[in-house]
């Protein structure tokens, strides 16, 4: 028996569901815009992995400053955030 652990593949939608259940704060890395990330708690999602964030804020990577938003809906299409529209593709979560 080798001392190697076997890794198990987990479906991304299951990861989103675990963060939803735990109420954890997550960072969403954007595919098109690497200068800022979205931070908030997941309060909903659908089968296409569109995500609804509560207490969402934009966190600028270089400045480490956040612009608060009460609620943000993340989609793979246009998303209004504080009067600005972004094209968003969900890439990765980072939980705390």
**The domain spanning residue 25 has which CATH number?**
2.30.30.100
The distance in angstroms from the start CA to the end CA of the chain is 34
Residue 77: inside a domain, yes or no? yes
Q: What is the pLDDT of residue 66?
A: 57
Residue 38 lies inside a defined structural domain of this protein: yes
User: Does a structural domain hold residue 84?
Assistant: yes
Tell me the per-residue pLDDT of 29-82, one tens digit each, with 9 for 90 and over.
887 788 888 888 888 888 888 888 888 888 887 765 555 555 455 544 444 444
pLDDT value for 43: 86
Q: What is the pLDDT of residue 49?
A: 82
Q: Dihedral (C-alpha) 24, 8, 49, 34: value to the nearest 10 degrees? A: 70
């Amino acid at each position: 028996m080798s001392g190697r652990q076997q890794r198990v593949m987990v479906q991304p939608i299951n990861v989103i569901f675990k963060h939803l259940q735990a109420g954890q704060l997550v960072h969403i890395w954007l595919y098109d815009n690497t200068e800022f990330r979205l931070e908030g708690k997941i309060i909903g999602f659908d089968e296409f992995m569109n995500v609804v964030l509560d207490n969402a804020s934009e966190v600028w990577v270089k400045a480490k400053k956040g612009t608060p938003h009460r609620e943000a809906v993340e989609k793979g299409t246009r998303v209004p955030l504080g009067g600005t529209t972004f094209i968003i593709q969900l890439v990765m979560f980072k939980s705390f």
